[in-house]
């Protein structure tokens, strides 16, 4: 499943840790937005790793699943491209 992931973390140190975790799973497309292809087991690993760095009282991470039918409708205005599925090679 393709996910758009955004976060709002107040503390600089926690924000850095969250960004590092997200880089292990996907691609940064904006300062606080990542895109990732995650299977169920990867999603669970990501949730577990993120939970170690979040303060549930002040921090927010949102994972938006986008179905295969929705993905072609993603619009990018200005710079950037939509992340490609790492298992698909386009020649």
pLDDT digits (tens, 9 = 90+) for 43-82: 999 999 999 999 999 999 999 999 878 877 877 777 777 7
Q: How far is CA 20 from CA 23, 24, 28, in A?
A: 5, 7, 10
Q: Residue 32 belongs to what domain range?
A: 2-73
- How many domains are there within the chain? 1
* C-alpha separations of 53 from 16, 31, 71, 76 in Å: 9, 18, 29, 30
Residue 89 domain-assigned (yes or no)? no
Domain containing 14 — which CATH number?
3.30.70.240
**Segments of 24-78 assigned E as strands:** 27-30, 33-37, 60-66
The verdict on residue 30 lying in a domain is yes
In a domain, 6, yes or no: yes
Residue 39's pLDDT band (boundaries 50, 70, 90)? Answer: very high
Measured distance CA(51)–CA(48) in Å, rounded? 5
Structural domain contains residue 80:
no
Note the pTM of the prediction, 2 decimals. 0.82
């Amino acid at each position: 499943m393709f996910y758009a992931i955004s976060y709002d973390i107040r503390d600089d140190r926690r924000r850095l840790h969250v960004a590092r975790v997200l880089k292990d799973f996907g691609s940064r497309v904006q300062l606080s937005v990542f895109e990732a292809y995650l299977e169920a087991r990867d999603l669970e690993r990501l949730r577990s790793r993120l939970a170690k760095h979040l303060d549930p009282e002040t921090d927010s991470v949102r994972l938006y699943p986008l179905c295969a039918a929705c993905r072609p409708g993603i619009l990018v205005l200005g710079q950037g491209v939509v992340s490609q599925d790492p298992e698909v090679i386009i020649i």
